Each structure stands twice: as C-alpha cells, then as structure tokens.
Structure 1
Amino acid sequence: MSRTLAGAAAIAGIGATAFTKESGRTELALAAEAVLDALGDAGVAPQEVDGMTAFAQDASSEIAVAREIGAGELRFFSRVPYGGGAACGTVAQAAMAVATGQADVVVAYRAFNERSGRRFGRAVRQDGGEPTSQSLELGWHVPVGLATPASWAAVAARRYMQVYGAVGEDFGRVAVQARRAAATNPRAWFHGRPITLEDHQASRWVAEPLRLLDCCQESDGGVALVVVSAERARALRRPPAVVRAAAQGAADGQMTMTSFYRGDGAGLPETGLVGGRLWAMSGLGPSDVQTAVLYDHFTPFVLMQLEELGFCGRGEAPAFVAEGRTALDGPLPVNPHGGQLGEAYIHGMNGIAEAVRQVRGTAANQVAGVEHVLVTAGAGVPTSGLVLGAYS
C-alpha cells in the first residue's frame, strides 16, 4: 500500500455546517449541506461524485446523501466502524479507492445531532437486545458503574497518573490551550471564550479524575471532504492537501474504550501502531510536521498521543505541554482550531478540515511555514491517522 497510496490522492474540498447545540434539522439535511459545501469549495459538480465513505454510526446512508445532492451512479462506498476512530479511516478508504481506480471523486462525510438528538456522552444502555461481542465486553463494566465514555477514559487517566505522577493540572493545561485557540477561531462554539487553569480546576467532576472541562463537547453539525487524485487536485479551485500517509490500526488485546486488561494501561498502543505506519509510509518523522491535530475527546488522551507518536518520551507529555511546546506560539501547535474541546465535536472530521486549512494557509490561527500536518482519530478505540502535505 505504501508504494501506491502515498501521494496518490488529495483532499481537494472541505465543507461544514454551522456547529451548534440544537440544529433544528435532520441529520440527512446536515450531511447534504456539508457535502455540497465541500464540492463547491473544490469546484466539483455533484454529478461527478462516484464514491462515498462514512462512519458505520452515521444515520444517513450513502444512497440517501447521493440523492439529496444530485449525484449520479456510485461505484464505491464503504463505512468505517469504531466511532471517532473512523475519522481518518474514511479518508484512507477514499484515497485507496482513488489510487486504485475504484472511483474518481469520493466524498467522506459525518453528520449528526449529537447534542440535541442522541447524546454520545450519556450512559450506555444494556437493553436486552440481540447480543454482540461489544455488548458482551461492556457486560463486564457497565454493571459496576463504568457506563459512560468519560468513566472509561477516567480509568486510563488514573492509571497514567499513577505510573507517571501526572496531576489534574496537567490535564487542565490541555483544555486551556484548546480553549485559547478556539477563542480566536470564528467557527468555534467557544469563540471568544477562553478559560484559565483556575476555571478548569473549579469545573465539576464528571468521572474522577476527569472534570467537565476535560471532556469534549457534544455538538450538532456536519463535515465533508472531497478526495480526488493528486494530479486532478492540482488543477482544481483550491490548493490541495496531499495524502502523504494514511493508516488504520487495532492493537493487541483491543477493546472499545475499555482495554483495561492489557499492558500497563497508561498508553495507547493502537495510536503508536498507526503512528509508526504513518512515519514509515510518508518517510517523515515527528520533527517534520509543523502542527498536529490530535483527537481530544478527553484531555489525558492528548498527553498519551504525544508520547505514542514520538513527540516526547513516556511520561514527558505533561512537561512538554506545560513548557508551551504545544501552544499556538510553540514549536508544535496542537489543535490550532480549538479541537473538539473548543471548536466542535464532529467525531474528528472537523480536525481533518483544519489540517487542510493549515496546508492551504487559510486557517484562522495559521501556523507559519506548514508543510506537513499530522492528524489522529479517536483514541482508546481501533483508530486511524493521516499525514497531509502541500503539493510538490
């Protein structure tokens, strides 16, 4: 795959709805708006779309979205499971389809009413439905109170604290930096609303050691991306973000957010697996990226990802952040759009759109001299990642 995928495809268009807490619209309408916005951004007609990739959890089917936007025949479609872990995987699938000739114009999308509709932060229901392997796994945890994503992440966070001596303020600095970036991003829900470390420490407990401001938002909205060949993208309306590398991965002993029975529990081996493949495929390393978009559903996982991806050593991420190395004016700005903590939680797809803007040089908080951007998808689940770069 590394011989054919790297550099073969590019993201040529990005689109999004407004990010709200109550859209008042159907999820299909949100998906169609985001897709049409992305196609307009790329300068590609809806009739040219012949492929679609989406999340397994998305309620809007490919054929329904195709009808809504006026697309023609679809030659390729796929869905990626594991929630937010699918984000970069949708682009990987689209890039592979383009690189192998399965399709010419592939749209990746995610749209939901995740605040006003089904809230992902709520407790998992064990409703006695048809059993699945995941419901059997959750059967070990839900009855003893581990019933929400925050509670699952809290276990990993507590273990990280025990192993490396991290404290709550170390998590809080991640949130403060994200909200500081969101405050100067007009697209962000928390535009104009930064926080202090004192604000973080005063926020209520959700699942100790996680506070409210350690948790990402619940948002309504949609994001879409248009993927075409790198050659075609060069001739389109916007500067392309070339897919230098794309990877998916699940680690040994993987469960969905509850991999409590493997290793020391203070890391994210699936992120390390994906990161290693991204570096190998792209021929790059941590020192070659100018900014990173890391999936920030919970603040401790940002620290773990920095370590797994090789930006710092094990247990060194708290100091790495405290020294300002991930701030907007630091050597490795992380989530310059504000992330899912500050901009919106669209299952990581808005982070990919931000990476494209950084490559184009059009971001609200533009990082100087961007040549390559690393993007990660959901942590704690089977996951995915991308390295995007400018056309050369």
Structure 2
Amino acid sequence: MSRTPFCNSVSVAGIGLRQYKRGAAPEPEQGVLVRAIHDACEDAGFAPEDIDGFVAYGDDHNEPVRLMSDLGTRELRFSTQVWGGGGGGIAAAFGVAAAAIATGQADSVVVFRALVQGNSGRMSAAVMRHHLNDHVIGGGLLAPAQICALRAQRLFEHHNVPLSVAEELVRASYYHGSRNPEATAFGKELDLDLYRNGRRIAEPFRLFDCSRENDGAGALLLTSTARAKDLRRQPIRLLGVANGAAKGWGNLAENDVDYESAGFRPVARRLWRDTGLTPADVDVVQLYENFSAQGVASLIDHGFCTFENVAEVIRFDNLIAPHGKLPVNTSGGNFAHGFVHGIGTAIESVRVLRGESANPVPDAKICLLAGGPGAPTVSSALFGTEDL
C-alpha cells in the first residue's frame, strides 16, 4: 500500500514552457515566467486568478507575492521553495505542492522555475553555493563540473563502468532533440567525432557531456484529480515523490561512502516502496543530466541496471523512442532540448504521458522524473495516466 496516498489525489492539469537562447529572452525573467504560467492555465482551461499556491526550487528569484498583480491572484494561500540542491529539488517541489493541495492549504498550485541570465546571472555561479565550500575550494575545485568529474572517475575506474555508456546516453538525448522542433538541437543529431574530440571541460567530461544553459521559464499547474477531470486536458496523476539525502551525503566534505553514486539510492528505495511500483513498471524516464556520468549513475541508483550489466541497458537503441525498452529524455533533455534548470524534464514527463511528445512512447502509462544527480539533496517522482 502506498505510504503517500495524497499523491494519487493530485494531478497535473496544465503545462507551459517558454525557452530562448541564453541571453536572448525578449522580456525580464518575471515577464517570461508570467507568460509560462498563463500558458499552463490556457492549456488547462483554468483562470490564472484562481491559482492560490506556488512552489519553486533551486533558488528561483521570483517571489510569488510579486507575481500576484500580473496574474490577478485573488488570494495567495501557499508559497514556498525547496531548499538547496540545485536541480536536485525539482521532483520534491511536486511533493510539496501535492501535500498542500491534499491537506487543504491550497486548491491549485503552480510548480515553476525561471532563469533569465540578464536577471539571475549564470546558473553555474548560483549552483556553486550548494556544491562548493572552503574545504573543496581549498583543494582547487572551483566548479560543479570538477566535483562531478571526480565522482565520474570513481564510477568508470573503480566500478569498471565503460566510458561508452556515457556516449550512448548523450547520443540518445541528441537523437530525441534533433526530432523535437522546440529543442535547441532540432535537426542536429550528435556528431560522434565532434563529441569524442570536443574540448575538455574536466576529465572525463568533454563539451557535449555537459548540459547547456538557456533563458526561459516553465510552469505546471497542479490541482486535485477530481477537479482536473473537469478541465480541458487529460489529468496526469502524481503517483509518488521521494527526496532527501543519505547519512553524510550533504556535508560537502567529498568523502561519501558511495562516492560514485548520484545520491538517489535511499530516495529511490523509498519511492518504489511507497508507490508499490518497480523499475520494471516504468515506461519512460525523464532524467536530469547535468553531466553524462551523473545521468548514468542516476539510472543505476534507481535500479534500472547495475555496475555489471550497465552496458547492456544503457545503449543507444534501448534508450530511444518509440521502440527502445527504456526511452530516456524524449524531448532531448538538458543536453539537447534546453536547460532552464531542468523544468523541461518535468514538462516532458506530462507531454509523453499525454501522447504529445515529439518522440512518442506508445501506450506509456508511467514516467519517472529524476532530479539533478549528485546534488547535496535529490528527489524523484512518478507520474501516471488516469487509466493506470
């Protein structure tokens, strides 16, 4: 039996995404976000003024009280943000929103993230506050890529995970992105020679092993499943959420017992336990990939494969829609769709279950959304169709 029954009573009713090349947003960050929220309401057939709750993550700068005049909000009843962890908190935001709705603290909550460089600066600079401290800076680690690179080397060298699996994951993301008109990589499959010879960022990462940064905003409108059934679009139910960190994981001392992990092992165990589902029940995965090796580690942590059989599972033909057994990042993900701190992966979780993805997964009923791997705190969520 599910330990989080409130999740089943809450659904995503509408989605909105505005995305632009970094530095090219036509409006300030708040304006882009308000348009994304209006898009989500239009998608659902829902009046923006009836939104009464907001949840964000990753140090979003847009306080809900400052959105009220633009949205015509009648009453703000609930507003909060998931602390720290960068993109690791993306799925946790849905759990917070669902809890607010299920307990009557709000009726209709928007989960959002906005990022416009001219207002918020570079994402990499913001993330440093959560991933770096004096201990690691003193050792010469000045960027998240360097820390994740060390953990990647542990994955590849100590556990003998072949480097080729990282390439397979990146290639699958670009395959999907090249077929998605909304994606930054539309029309451009990954050039393997360019990938293999790209400039080194931090060994073992080269340029295309790293997510890109974009301007934009995304918004997802959540309400009770009963209410969502009366709106315009097919409700996509929130089946369960788990978030947090294992003992010692969040101390930023870089001496974790499972140093190669993406941090999801205890989170994934709770998610499967609380929902009664298993990796075998998942039809499609939307995976936050900040770096290629962390995406691989995330799939291992969630139980889709092991160190020993990872090359059998994380291979190009198995990861692509429509015929792969485990389609991953059907919009192109953070590598090829675009990167507004991962909110696009949540949007795609809904689209693919509605049958609206640019790379459809036939008869998909359950989608896993995994937050930013390797962050001090991480989170995962499961979404499902109404007829599940």
C-alpha separation between the residues in 2 aligned to 1:188 and 1:323?
19
Query: Partner residue of 1:97?
Result: 100
| Cα deviation code 1:223-248 (max 9, x no counterpart) | 00000001111111000110011121
Quick check: 1:225–1:353 contact (8 Å CA) kept in 2?
yes
Query: Partner residue of 1:303?
Result: 296
Quick check: 2:7–2:98 contact (8 Å CA) kept in 1?
no
| Cα deviation code 1:273-293 (max 9, x no counterpart) | 221222122221111111011
| Cα deviation code 1:342-388 (max 9, x no counterpart) | 11112221111101011111111110111110111111120111110
Query: Partner residue of 2:112?
Result: 109
Which stretch shifts more, 109-118 or 296-305? 109-118
1:375 aligns with 2:356: no
Query: Partner residue of 1:251?
Result: 246
Query: Partner residue of 2:6?
Result: 5
C-alpha separation between the residues in 2 aligned to 1:74 and 1:305?
36
Query: Partner residue of 1:182?
Result: 177
3-state SS in 2 of match to 1:18 = strand
Query: Partner residue of 2:18?
Result: 17
Query: Partner residue of 1:325?
Result: 318
C-alpha separation between the residues in 2 aligned to 1:59 and 1:323?
38
Q: TM-score, normalised by structure 2?
A: 0.93
Quick check: 1:303–1:318 contact (8 Å CA) kept in 2?
no
Query: Partner residue of 1:147?
Result: 142
Aligned residue among 333, 341, 362 for 1:339: 333
Query: Partner residue of 1:131?
Result: none
Change (3 A) 1:205 1:16: same
Q: TM-score, normalised by structure 1?
A: 0.92
How far is the alpha carbon of 1:114 from its aligned partner? 4.1
Quick check: 1:16–1:34 contact (8 Å CA) kept in 2?
yes
C-alpha separation between the residues in 2 aligned to 1:200 and 1:86?
29
Map 1:151-230 → 2, pairs under 5 A: 151-230=146-225
Quick check: 2:169–2:316 contact (8 Å CA) kept in 1?
no
1:266 aligns with 2:269: no
Residue-pair matches, total: 382
Which stretch shifts more, 35-44 or 315-324? 315-324
How far is the alpha carbon of 1:25 from its aligned partner? 2.1
Query: Partner residue of 2:381?
Result: 386
C-alpha separation between the residues in 2 aligned to 1:251 and 1:307?
16
In structure 2, runs of 5+ residues without a counterpart are: none
How far is the alpha carbon of 1:310 from its aligned partner? 0.9
Give the RMSD, CA atoms, in angstroms.
2.0
C-alpha separation between the residues in 1 aligned to 2:315 and 2:137?
35
Quick check: 2:8–2:238 contact (8 Å CA) kept in 1?
yes
Quick check: 2:29–2:119 contact (8 Å CA) kept in 1?
no
| Cα deviation code 1:255-306 (max 9, x no counterpart) | 37x56202141213x3122212221222211111110111111100111111
